[in-house]
Copies of this chain bind each other. A is one copy, B any other.
Amino acid sequence: MESQTPVGRKITLNDIAAGCGVSRATVSLVLRGSPLVNKVTRARVEEELRKQGYVYNRAAANLRRRTSSSVALVINELANPFFAEFAAGVDETLGTAGFVTLLGSTGDSAEREHAVLGSLIEHGPGGIILSPAEDSEARKVLAAVGTHTPVVLFNRELGGELPEYAHWDRLMLDNERGARQATEHLIAQGHRRIAFFGGHDHASSTRQRHAGYLQAMQAAGLTVEPQWRVQSTPTRTDAARSAGALFEGSGTAPTAAVCYNDAVALGLMLGLHQHGRQAGRDFAVTGFDDIAEASMSMPSLTTLSTAPRARGRQAAEMLLARLRDPQAPSGTIIAPVELVVRESSCPLS
């Protein structure tokens, strides 16, 4: 075996060329599998590549060819399993397409998002997949990424107006229909007094889900009492704290609730306890997202599956398509969500 020297300079095309008495250009052709080069030369070069332990310098190649082999993935909260799954899906698809993923995590801060985008863009990604921070604004994002790099937005809309020349693609979830399905399911279970619980109405996703809920209620000819809308931070703890609001006042108490998402639903189930009700027995609950925990809670949670890993793959596909054809009209995909019925959405007792 050759002396795989543990230390030394990096090997370049020149080293290989010199090593087997051929020109740099020829070696380059061999590397890229060109049919131009003679069988025996190719063998000789390949042997030398192996022997010297050559590793391709893609950055140099990209510079020369004015291409890119990377895509930036900017996630508002990587620690959230929903987004981690999404990221895994993105990376999987990009990887098989020969792209490498530049990761950026913003901790849901628009300021940090701006810095992260600014840093990533300098590495010349071919495109960007962005799941915006809660308070992210179109104008600032555009300033950071410029107009040369295609963007796929995931999950959230940006605040403010985006100039019409920046035609970015979007991948959103079908919030409206999902919430409608959940509501229809509860109605089919016999419930008539159904609340919409959690989230803040200034967020686009919350508004969409609430709208779906209202549609289903109206379609069924059911009236909605004002105290059946309880807002909360989309976290488990705040949801648990806010549960009591459903049962205050003189109006009729609801027997079921469509929740903004799974975290809120799990929190509500916890909070119901303190108000003498038990989710899945005398109060029905639905969530949104189908996080891993949803299937494991007690009772298990009826929710809307969003298949985050598949969404990741899809977002990557959208970006790859855009790179293939930069002129194609930009589009928005609303990914369907699927109702998963479990124990928490019990019939009206």
A residues contacting B by CB (< 8 A) are 4-7, 10, 53, 55-60, 62-63, 66, 69-70, 73, 78-81, 84-85, 87-88, 91-92, 95, 98, 100-105, 107, 116, 119-124, 146-148, 163, 165-166, 236, 266, 269-270, 292-293, 295-298, 309
12 A–B pairs (Cβ distance < 8 Å), ordered by A: A10-B148, A55-B121, A73-B103, A78-B91, A79-B85, A81-B81, A91-B105, A100-B119, A100-B123, A102-B102, A266-B296, A293-B293
Report B-chain residues with C-beta under 8 Å of the C-beta of A10: 66, 148
Cβ distance A179 to chain B, nearest Cβ, rounded Å: 23
Give the nearest-CB partner of A295 in chain B.
Answer: B270
For residue A92, which residues in chain B have a CB less than 8 angstroms away from its CB?
105, 107
A34 to chain B, nearest CB (A): 19
Q: How far is the CB of A118 from chain B (nearest CB, A)?
A: 9
User: Which of A85, A146, A163 has the most CB atoms of chain B within a 10 A radius of its CB?
Assistant: A146
When the two chains form their complex, are residues B166 and A6 in contact, meaning their CB atoms are under 8 A apart?
A: yes
Q: Nearest Cβ distance between residue A234 and chain B, in whole angstroms? A: 14
Q: CB-CB < 8 A to A107: which residues of B?
A: 92
Chain B residues, Cβ within 8 Å of A58: 122-124
Copies in the complex: 2
Once A6-B165, A102-B100, A165-B6 are accepted as A-B contacts, the answer to whether A79 and B124 lie under 8 Å apart by CB is no
Identify the interface centre among A79, A120, A163, A236: most chain B CB within 10 Å of its CB: A79
Q: How far is the CA of A98 from the CA of B298 in the complex (A)?
A: 42
Set of chain B residues within 8 Å of A122, measured between Cβ atoms: 55-58
Q: Bound complex: CA of A78 vs CA of B66, how far in Å?
A: 31
Q: Which residues of B contact A85 (CB under 8 A)?
A: 79
* Contact among B63, B98, B124 for A119, CB-based, below 8 A: B98
Q: For the complex, what is the distance from the CA of A102 to the CA of B94, rounded to whole Å?
A: 12
Q: Are B236 and A296 in contact (CB under 8 A)?
A: yes
- Measured between beta carbons, the chain B residues less than 8 angstroms from A4 are 147
A296 x B297 contact (CB < 8 A) = yes
Residue in contact with A59 in the complex, picked from B62, B88, B116, CB distance below 8 Å: B62
Most chain B beta-carbon contacts within 10 A, residue among A60, A146, A295, A296: A296
Query: A100: which B residues are within 8 A, CB to CB?
Result: 102-104, 119-120, 123
Not counting A53-B146, A78-B88, A95-B105, a sample of 12 additional A-B residue pairs whose C-beta atoms are within 8 angstroms of each other reads: A55-B146, A57-B124, A58-B124, A59-B59, A59-B124, A63-B63, A80-B84, A81-B293, A87-B105, A91-B105, A101-B103, A293-B293
